[in-house]
Each structure stands twice: as structure tokens, then as C-alpha cells.
Structure 1
Amino acid sequence: MRLVSRTAQLAFTAAAVASLLGWAAAPAAADSIRKRQWHIAALDLSKAHKLSRGDGVIVAVIDSGVDAGHPDLAGAVLPGEDLVSDGQDGRSDVDGHGTQMAGIIAAHGHGDGGGTLGVAPNAKVLPIRLSINAFGTSGEAVKAVTFAQKHGAGVINMSFGSADDAPVQAAIRAALAADIVVVASSGNRGEPGGDFPGRYPEVLTVGATDPADRIASFSITGPQVDLTAPGVDIVTTGINSSGYYQGSGTSEATAVVSGAAALVRSRFPELSAAEVVHRLTATATDAGDPGRDDSYGYGRLNIVAALTANVPAAPASAHSETTPPSTAEALPQRFPKRTSPLVITGTAAAAVLILGGLVLTLMLRRRR
């Protein structure tokens, strides 16, 4: 079954969407958007940015493409790859999710403190566009990871979900062998598609927390969770008329951690990918049950500690494994794209699509 695209949904739900996006419909004061970014203070980014801003690091965003024309991302988006439309380079986005992730990672704002600020504002984004709100194949994801590996990515952001797929895992392991930090989301409860690649032991798997440092109600927990980060009511770059978006999901938390990985890679360029992951998890603020637990993983992301702490060498772990699994030919699997729900008031917004006389209730955004 093909998922209805956001564009099609909006055509039938304009009134509902307008009311949901009303907070950003009018031009905002120069600093009002940034004031809505509660995670900036929660992560103490002002202090972190005195130590590192992500210079010299490329973060591959495997997603819906990135709107390179957004003023908060101007000059930060490299030519990438479009696995959907021939002749394109990933620097356009009709869906919005990729632009949202890119803004969380590397937005630099504009003017005098205007617009949004990313976790690693001096990093570069390598956009790689996959099929969105449709069933593509795992082959797209394999090509995307391989492209990121061949084009200098130091970090790969994977804010999507799928079924278990050996070729995708093999591509991820090859990226790790090439010294790339691979960050994936744990997934949102109640959404279709599966919990991979977040369940692969090779990736740094991220769950979401709210402004009170609690696990977000939608965030999937379990032994695969390594780290948690802000993922509720995150304001970032968008492609709507105002150019900004507020959303909740493990997608957003994953992008935060990808930005943090870029900061660490920039400050400590001698560290391997496995050592970067170890530094992020070893310096996390313990939460929940003492030690690692299935809700917070090793704890809540602490970027300043990751940039300053004296961290002992990492023990051997799944994150340093580089032996690829069997690469025998396999039939491509249906590879649905997850989307983060649009959250303006703390609850997921719903839209109603009327087609052929049937009413199909869809979540406005079903992506993590």
C-alpha cells in the first residue's frame, strides 16, 4: 500500500494545517524563532560552541533531500545525491523532513541572531534523497550509505525506519569500517515499518526526551537504545511558508546527536568513529536506573562533557565491529519512510483525507 504524500494530504486539509501552523505563519521578530529552541539551553550549546562548531565535518543526511535555499542553511548544503529524480543532487525538498533534520544539525541562522541555530553550525550537510511517504526498496538505502561513504561523510544521520535487511546492515558495517559514525533513531511507537536500522548493534541508536528530561511517550525503548536527546517540540528549518517547523520524534533526537558527533569529530579529529561513539555515551548524564538502562541507554546527551571530559579508551564493542555480514543477493524489501508527527501543542495532529468517497484517517506526519 502506498502512503499518501504530505503534498496530497495538504491539498485536502489546508484549513487544518493552517490552524496548526498558525504560530509561524506571520514574519517573526529576529530572535523569536531561536527563543523557541528550548534544546539550545538544555544542551548548553553556547558553551559547547566555544569549544567546537563542527568545522571540517560532513554530515550525510539520508532523508527527503534538503532545501539548500533556506537562509539558515545557506552555504552549508553540499551537492549530494537524489535517488528518486534523475539529474538532481539532493538540494531540494518537497516533503520537509530532510530540511528539518539538516536544520537541527547545521543551521547557522541569519542576520543578527535571527533564525534557527543547529548543534554544529559550521558543519556541512551532504543531502541524499530517498523515496518519501512511499514504499521504495532497501536498495536505495544501500546506495545512500555507499554514496555518503564515498563522498567524505564523517557522520551519517538515519532518521527513518524499515524492516531488518542484510544488505543495509552490510552497507552500515562498511561505513563503520570506513571510520564513519552512523546515528539512527530508535523509532516512534505505533508507527509502521519496523525498527531498523536502529536495532542494529553497529549504529548509535537514539531515543527522545522532553523538556523535563523524561522519555518521550512516543520513543521506543529497549536494549538497542544507546543515548537519549531532546526530541519534543523541536523548532527547526522547514519548507512551509514561514520557513520553520516544530515537531516531535526520535528523528529530531537523532539529528541532535548527529550534530553532537560532528562537534566531537571536529574537536578531536584523531578519534576513530568508535571512539567518538564511546565519548558520547561515556559522558552522557546518567538517568533512569543507575547505569545503562533500556529507557535512557547510557543516559542523556551531555555535549559539553563530551567535548571536555578525560575519557578512557573504549572497550571492544559492537560499534567497532567491521566484519560485514554475508552480501549474498537478496530480494529488495519494502522500505517505508517514517515521519515525525507534527506537534504544536504536545499532541499529534491528525488530518482527514477524503478519496473516492472513503475517509482515511492519517497522521499528518508519520515519520520518525
Structure 2
Amino acid sequence: MSIKSHLARAGKIALIAAILTPSTAGAGWAEGTSADGADLIRNDQWHLTYLGASKAHEISQGEGVIVAVPDTGIDPHPDLIKNLLPGIDITPEGNRDGRRDSDGHGTILAGLIVAHGRGSTKGALGIAPKAKVVPIRVSLDSHQVSTDDLARGIDYAVNQGAKVISISIAAGPNIKLQQAIASALRADIVVVAGAGNRPQEVPVAFPAAYPGVIAVGGIDRLGSQAPISVTGPEIDVVAPAEEIHSTSIDGKYSRSRGTSDATAIVAGAAALVRAKYPYLPADEVAHRLTATAIDKGPPGRDDQYGYGVIDLVAALTADVPPRGFESVPATSPDAAGPTTAAADGPRAEGGGDGSATVRGWVTLGVLLAAGGVWALFARHRRRSDDPPPRISR
């Protein structure tokens, strides 16, 4: 992940945050669908095919991973109820249970992350359909959120043992929010946050702008930057953010757009990686997602796409050297989406059997040895040529 620098921003610290998705939760369905749309929703979820979710699910489905979603709560939709934990409601209406959502935004996100559907073809399907989700109700609706409540929600997620936190809320810099994010990172949690939507948030919003957070932008069906997605030097990866279909309240389905959706998709990807590699630290999980992303735009990281489009299969299978060691970038995809070659991710010569990592350690040893020789030479030279130390006056 890139090292993010954050300059002081004009204006007062924001105390109110905003939900990122201009959603159409509970939108009506075309004539001919069933009462709740369960028989057609899977075909509408184009992002699953684009990202190769079916192949990724042969490797990992997020088993044993808890994903926390601080948002508007989560409705117990039939497509995700088996993966829904009780959570908490910390709004003024708090009833000690986060399984309620009068807005629909949180239920959209939960569906994108953990929906298990109804059989092999019906109902909505999430990126990590065997992970669990903790609903943390920090807002009554999608218009505004107390930043302090968001910070409290993040702290709750830490205490509940979450392995991933998905934050689709945009805020300004806030000391309590910053402290909560720092606490989550210290607890070895992968924190994923939306970059923000145009024209509301420019530049990249917090908490996505904080160091250590995976900042997510959005793309459309063609793999191009979504017009709604904010850009900036903090962007790490991008994911589908246009015409996204998911669960909604009252057993219905929704179609929405925004970096909220892209964030939930990346959070699901993080859950897949954490299930496949349970002992991998959070920063290495983030590194695996960025190192295997499919490059878009100018070569290398850029402000529109970050390191590129997440590649679920490559994130689960590629030979990714630890952070600090050079890796081979993934092949750029065509406009239609990830290619098979790109899905293989960065490989070492000879078939990706770990030799890249071995070469990295050998290189490090050579550099350390060379450094030791130079240190002895420099020490000898200082003794013979340099003037003796003096006491400053």
C-alpha cells in the first residue's frame, strides 16, 4: 500500500459525516419478476462475473471471518440472515441490536459482502458468502452521521473481534475517528473505506484518507473510472461502483451506485484473503490486494485507479512477496474485465513456486554484507583522515 501524506485541509473539522451511496434501495422491478426478485437478482449482479467470483469461491468463501459494517444497520434479509450477527445500535433509537435498517444503505452493503442467496442461482450473492457480518447502527438514515458515533462503532468492531471493517461513510478529519482507526489497525484489522462520491466529496474523504486504510474508488461496467468516484493520491484500489444490485429492506432488492458499493466489494475480497491466509497480518492482506490488482490507466499507481482493479483469484493464489520486496506487476486487462493471464497475478520465474521470495532474502543478505564491508572501510578512513572530534563552543 502506498505511503499516504496528508496536508492540512482548510476549514473546520467536520463533525458530521455522510453516507457515500446515492442508493435506490427497494427500487421496483420490471414486470415479470417474482414478488421479491429472488429469481433474477443473481443475473443482475454483473460485478460477480466481472471479478470472477465463482472461481474465487472455489478457493475461499470467507469462512471464519467477521466483517463489521458501521452504517444504518442491517435488515435481516432472507439472502443474508444466516450470516448476520446481532451487532449493536448506538443511535438515539438504540435498542442494543443492529439488525434493523429503516434506510436500506447498510443492508445493501451487507448483501455485497456476505449474502448467501437461496440456492445456487437464486437470491443475491456476496463476495464472501460464508463470512459473518456485524451490523453497527451508527446512523438513522443516509443523509448524515455523527463522526463521534462512527468512531464508537469502530471501537465496538474492534472489541467484537472483527477481522475486516467496511466503512462507506465520508467525513472530515476528526481526532476521535483518527484514534479509532489507529486502534483498529493496531488490532490487526483490515480497514476498508470509500474514497467519496462526486460532487459531494473532493478530495478523498476520511477515514479513507488516513494512512493504513485501504481507500477504494469505483469503476463502471467497462472497467473505466466511474464518473461518481472521487480521485486522489490516497486511492489504493478500485472496484465496481455503477448499477450494483444487492439486498434491501423488507426482503426486497436494490440498484445503486457509488464508492459505498465498491468499498463493500473490496471488504468482501479482504474477507476471502483472511479466510485463505488466517495468519497473514492485516497490512500484508492489504498488500496482497494491491499487489495483485489489475493495472489500469497509466502504468503503476495513479490517482484514478490506485494500483488497479481488485482481482479476487489472483489475491487468493498469486505468489506475492512480502512488502518491501519487488514483485512483477499483473497484466493489464482488456476493457471487458480481468483476463485469465491477469488473474494469475505476479509470478516468479519458473512457475511461481516461491523463488521470488527466496531471491528477495538472498538479495537482502548480499546488501547487508556489502553494507558491512563499506562500514568497516568508512570507519578506517575516518580514523586515518578525519580530524578529531571537538567540543562545540
TM-score between the two structures when normalised by the length of structure 1? 0.77
Range that drifts further, 106-115 or 144-153: 106-115
Is 2:25–2:248's contact at 8 Å kept on the other side of the alignment? no
Unaligned runs of 5+ in 2: 1-15, 326-393
Unaligned runs of 5+ in 1: 7-15, 317-368
**Is 1:219 aligned to 2:229, yes or no?**
yes
How far off is 1:224 after superposition? 0.7
Q: Let me know the Cα RMSD of the aligned residues.
A: 2.3
How far off is 1:136 after superposition? 4.5
- Structure 2: distance between partners of 1:91 and 1:52: 26
- Structure 2: distance between partners of 1:49 and 1:22: 28
**Is 1:259 aligned to 2:268, yes or no?**
yes
**Is 1:81 aligned to 2:88, yes or no?**
yes
* Residue in 2 that maps onto 1:176: 185
Deviation string for 1:286-315 (max 9, x for gaps)? Answer: 110000111100011001000000000013
**Is 1:239 aligned to 2:249, yes or no?**
yes
- Structure 2: distance between partners of 1:125 and 1:236: 15
Identity of aligned residues (%): 48
Residues 30 and 147 of structure 1: CA distance in aligned 2, closer, same or farther (over 3 Å): closer
1:267-278 correspondence runs (5 A): 267-278=276-287
**Is 1:165 aligned to 2:168, yes or no?**
no
Is 1:30–1:112's contact at 8 Å kept on the other side of the alignment? no
Which one has a bigger Cα radius of gyration? 2
- Structure 1: distance between partners of 2:75 and 2:189: 24
How far off is 1:26 after superposition? 4.8
Count of aligned pairs: 301
- Structure 1: distance between partners of 2:148 and 2:25: 34
Residues 41 and 134 of structure 1: CA distance in aligned 2, closer, same or farther (over 3 Å): closer
Deviation string for 1:263-284 (max 9, x for gaps)? Answer: 0000000100000000000000
**Secondary structure of 1:255's aligned partner:** helix
- Structure 2: distance between partners of 1:128 and 1:186: 20
Residues 209 and 134 of structure 1: CA distance in aligned 2, closer, same or farther (over 3 Å): closer
Residues 112 and 295 of structure 1: CA distance in aligned 2, closer, same or farther (over 3 Å): closer
1:1-368 correspondence runs (5 A): 21-23=28-30, 26-27=34-35, 31-68=39-76, 70-84=77-91, 85-131=93-139, 132-133=141-142, 135-191=144-200, 195-239=205-249, 243-315=252-324
How far off is 1:199 after superposition? 1.3
How far off is 1:164 after superposition? 1.0
TM-score between the two structures when normalised by the length of structure 2? 0.73
How far off is 1:31 after superposition? 3.8
Deviation string for 1:87-136 (max 9, x for gaps)? Answer: 23100100000000000000000145210100000000000011234554
- Structure 2: distance between partners of 1:243 and 1:77: 17
How far off is 1:192 after superposition? 5.8
How far off is 1:27 after superposition? 2.4
- Structure 2: distance between partners of 1:263 and 1:97: 23
Residues 220 and 79 of structure 1: CA distance in aligned 2, closer, same or farther (over 3 Å): same
Residues 139 and 17 of structure 1: CA distance in aligned 2, closer, same or farther (over 3 Å): closer
Is 1:163–1:193's contact at 8 Å kept on the other side of the alignment? no
- Structure 2: distance between partners of 1:170 and 1:265: 24
